[in-house]
Amino acid sequence: MSYEEKFIFEDRTRWQDCGEGMRRQIMGYGKDLMLVKIEFNKGAVGAMHSHPHSQSSMVVSGSFEVTIGGETSTLHAGDGYFVAPGVEHGVLCTEQGTLIDTFAPCREDFL
């Protein structure tokens, strides 16, 4: 995939291993925005971290315990969340599932 590619096809986009029970596909990006799909096995942990990007995410399937700034909520398919820049956050997958993450600006460290 290249910068500002117009069409991105799931079956032609490589998966990146993200550690135990997680993998991601970058589904589009430009300088100011990035879209990422992440699949989680049950029990997989997206460790607590922060970054200088705004993040808005949606649960496509499964369920997740999402912690943002010390507050935790259980989210299911169709639910979403927002993380402001610099705020600590992480997830625990409680039922195998998929998240769609958007980042502004682009997460250069994912490329």
* pLDDT of 93 strictly over 80: yes
Extract the tokens encoding 34: 């990035």
pTM: 0.94
The domains found in the chain, sorted by start residue, are 14-110 (2.60.120.10)
31-55 pLDDT, tens digit each: 999 999 999 999 999 999 999 999 9
* pLDDT of 1 strictly over 80: no
- Which residues lie closer than 8 Å to 44 by C-beta, 6 or more apart? 19, 20, 21, 22, 92, 93
Mean pLDDT of the chain: 97
Beta strands 89-104 and 45-49, pairing class: antiparallel
Neighbours of 84 (CB within 10 A): 12
- Which residues lie closer than 8 Å to 11 by C-beta, 6 or more apart? none
Extract the tokens encoding 44: 């997989």
pLDDT of residue 2: 75
Cα–Cα distance measured from residue 88 to residue 71, given in angstroms and rounded to the nearest whole number: 10
For the residues 17-28, what does the mean pLDDT come to?
96
